[in-house]
Amino acid sequence: MIEIVSETRCISCNICVRVCPADVFEAIAGAAPVIARQDACQTCFLCELYCPTDALYVDPNGDGPVAAREAEIEAAGLFGSYARAMGWKRGQPGGADLDPTFHIRRAMGQL
Amino acid sequence: MLADAVTDVLVIGGGPAATWAALEAAAASRRVTLVDKGYVGTSGAAAPTGVGTWFAPTSAERRVAAERRAARSFGLADAEWTFRTLEESAAGLDQLAGWQYPFPHDDRGRLYTPNLRTADYMHFMRKRVRAAGVHVYDHHPALNLIVADGVVCGASGIARESAAPWSIRAAAVVVATGGCVFGERVQGAAGLTGDGYLMAAEAGATLSSMEFIGQYGIVPFKTASNKGLIYTWATFMREDGSTIEDRGEDRQLLVARALADGPVYARFDNVSPELQRQLRDGQPNILLPFDRAGIDPFVQRFPVMLRCEGTVRGVGGIRLSDESCATDVPGLFAAGDAASREKMTGAISGGGGPNSAWSIATGRWAGRSAAAFAARVGSRHETRRGAAIGSARLQPAAIDVVKAEILPLDRNFFRTRRSLERSLAQLDAAWTGLRSTSIVPGIAALHAREAAAMTATARWSYSAALARNESRGIHRRLDAPATDPAQAHPITVSGIDTIRVGSDTTTVRKALAS
């Protein structure tokens, strides 16, 4: 589930408020959005991709909050790690043209 | 903004099927409006995952693939329909390539279109839809269809942010709201509450193959990541480290049986370093949960569980009368997971690949058919005085009942007549006992409709399951383990308070003309 909106990284663009399909975030005037409906989070990690400043952290646990701590996530280099693995930058898509999945599908005997 | 708007084609939903429908309707020069409960680009089951669309490069190979698929559908698929799904989906992928979607090139330098990184795909589809002039309203859940003289002619709902009501009149409506996962914690679940089934059924539409919801995905314990592909290389083991022997059954069945005796673990064995690198680069969301938990799944074992995938990777939905994607109700069309898929998948899961092909094909068909219907209606619908129909609203507590009766393996994955009857009694009691007694204001109206849609979908599913007195595909009856040749036809359900169960014996399964 969504765990952290980093106030040090966030630029209050509110893109996460707009793109979350589960309406998890709430915009706050002049400040970082807050996680207003954590329980509605579907743990899809897509908000991390759309965040232009890698300010969001989603924990893989889909059942409930785990109280992730920002300092630890920062130290582990996990802010933005999914976007980097995908090739998305500053909230914009990238990397699909380099997707090597055709190797995997061929290894499975498909195509 | 949408207080009392008018359009030609209204598309409800925001995933692949919805966006394809909107694009096709716009290409037919109709005014198109799309309303989605979430955000077009992140909505639905597809966006978070990544799919290999079922694909064969030539028509001849598509015929062979369709025949093979139909042969293992447990008698419910139609090879001709399946073939045309593959044809139409391939045309969609070609169109994506023509639009410069960034497909990769394979090692022979050829464009490789069968794999879609869905986050990128849906981001791209959003841009295409907007460029096509479609009016897109994110976070505008539809709650009710508008019907005049038995013809669907619009929808009404609320805007999430303002909680303001909206309504829009349309000459034709496409329901592409996705499937239902009954509150399970899987990716995409936020939108997948069966809303489209409820709205369609209230308008008089029939649903089919709703009993086939016994489909579960393997996930690393407590995660929502139901990515099945990598378990091709998994070894499953018990707590004591002993290997669970693969007896050639499907993996979900293997894991479901073992989970009855205790915890189950998996490890991805025999994955070459090269394949590991390709998985990491090509499917980063598979490895994400492990990386964040500090587990190397190629070396260390990890606990797994099964999560219900309902009609998303199961089968059932709104019955289509033919490839126009028309429903039983004039003016109403259905596509993607909202539509019943048994004509392609039969009694088993379509998994990611066939379902991706289905969403492209049915989305395109529904969009075209709705546009043609709208052209025939002309401007008459603009003055039609329809009324919003459907009054089912339940208290949120009903969702707890649905989860308790649908998600456990010993109720839905493995079934008996007795367990189904007991569960259905609980669901019926929730349906009558947990009604919202007053008109609920604002966003609570959405939650009351979602609770009703999930509960209705659960009731349809178990009503159909009780009528199928045999085992077939992912409908596993412990008390009737054999497959009965006399029941090789779809089961239909309709009705809201009183559920009518029927057999779709009018469905003629055509063999492919050779």
Identify which of B271, B350, B250, B258 has the alpha carbon closest to the alpha carbon of residue B304.
Answer: B258
Residues A61-90: tens digit of each pLDDT: 999 999 999 999 999 999 999 999 999 999
Could you tell me if A75 lies within 8 Å of chain B, comparing CB atoms? no
Contact (CB<8Å) B225/A43: yes
Contact B368, B2 (CB under 8 A): no
Nearest to B42 among A19, A98, A107 (CB): A19
Q: Nearest residue of B to residue A77 by CA position?
A: B292
Q: Nearest residue of B to residue A61 by CA position?
A: B223
Mean pLDDT of A19-40: 97
Number of Cβ within 10 Å of residue B244's Cβ equals 17
As a whole number of angstroms, the distance between CA B184 and CA B78 comes to 31
Cα Rg, chain A, nearest whole Å: 15
On chain A, the residues whose CB falls within 8 A of the CB of B14 are 21
Contact B114, B356 (CB under 8 A): no
As a whole number of angstroms, the distance between CA B51 and CA B285 comes to 12
Architecture of domain A2-107: 2-Layer Sandwich (3.30)
Q: In chain B, what are the domains?
A: 5-212+313-388 (3.50.50.60), 216-308 (3.90.700), 397-480 (1.20.58.100)
On chain B, the residues whose CB falls within 8 A of the CB of A50 are 42
Contact (CB<8Å) A93/B119: yes
Q: Quote the ipTM score.
A: 0.98
Identify which of B52, B54, B168, B182 has the alpha carbon closest to the alpha carbon of residue B117.
Answer: B52
Cα Rg, chain B, nearest whole Å: 22
Token reading at A19: 């793109």
Is residue A24 over pLDDT 80? Answer: yes
Nearest to B288 among A82, A95, A103 (CB): A82
From residue B221, how far is each of A63, B264, B290, B302 by CA, in Å? 10, 9, 11, 8
Contact A18, A9 (CB under 8 A): no
> What count of residues does chain B have?
514
On chain B, the residues whose CB falls within 8 A of the CB of A103 are 107, 275, 278, 282
Residue B492 dihedral angles phi and psi, to the nearest 5°: -110, 155
Quick one: pLDDT at residue B351?
A: 82
Nearest to B282 among A46, A47, A100 (CB): A100
| Residues 6+ away with beta carbon under 8 Å from B371 | B8, B9, B24, B25, B28, B29, B30, B172
Quick one: pLDDT at residue B383?
A: 81
As a whole number of angstroms, the distance between CA B280 and CA A79 comes to 18
Contact (CB<8Å) A49/B293: no
pLDDT along chain B (514 residues), means of 10: 84 98 98 98 95 92 95 94 97 98 94 95 98 98 96 96 94 98 94 97 98 97 92 95 89 96 95 93 94 95 98 97 95 98 93 92 98 93 87 96 98 98 98 87 92 98 98 98 96 97 63 36
Token reading at A102: 């055709």
- Antiparallel, parallel or unpaired: β B5-12 and B32-35: parallel
pTM of the model: 0.97
Contact (CB<8Å) A81/B291: yes
The HSE-up count of residue B216 (CA atoms within 13 Å, CB side) is 29
How close, in Å, is residue A99 to chain B by CA atoms? 5
Could you tell me if A111 lies within 8 Å of chain B, comparing CB atoms? yes
CB pairs under 8 A between A and B: 156
Quick one: pLDDT at residue B514?
A: 32
Number of Cβ within 10 Å of residue A18's Cβ equals 17
Quick one: pLDDT at residue B505?
A: 65
**Measured distance between the N- and C-terminal CA atoms of chain B, rounded to whole angstroms:** 54
On chain A, the residues whose CB falls within 8 A of the CB of B39 are 18-21
Nearest to A42 among B189, B229, B284 (CB): B189
Is residue A106 over pLDDT 90? Answer: no
Query: Confidence band (pLDDT; 50, 70, 90) for A55?
Result: very high
On chain A, the residues whose CB falls within 8 A of the CB of B121 are 96
Quick one: pLDDT at residue B50?
A: 86
Quick one: pLDDT at residue B493?
A: 97
Quick one: pLDDT at residue B365?
A: 98
Contact (CB<8Å) A85/B103: no
From residue B29, how far is each of B135, B258, B368, B374, B470 by CA, in Å? 14, 55, 10, 11, 48
Quick one: pLDDT at residue A111?
A: 63
From residue B230, how far is each of A49, A96, B129, B267, B275 by CA, in Å? 22, 19, 33, 10, 11
Contact (CB<8Å) B185/A63: yes
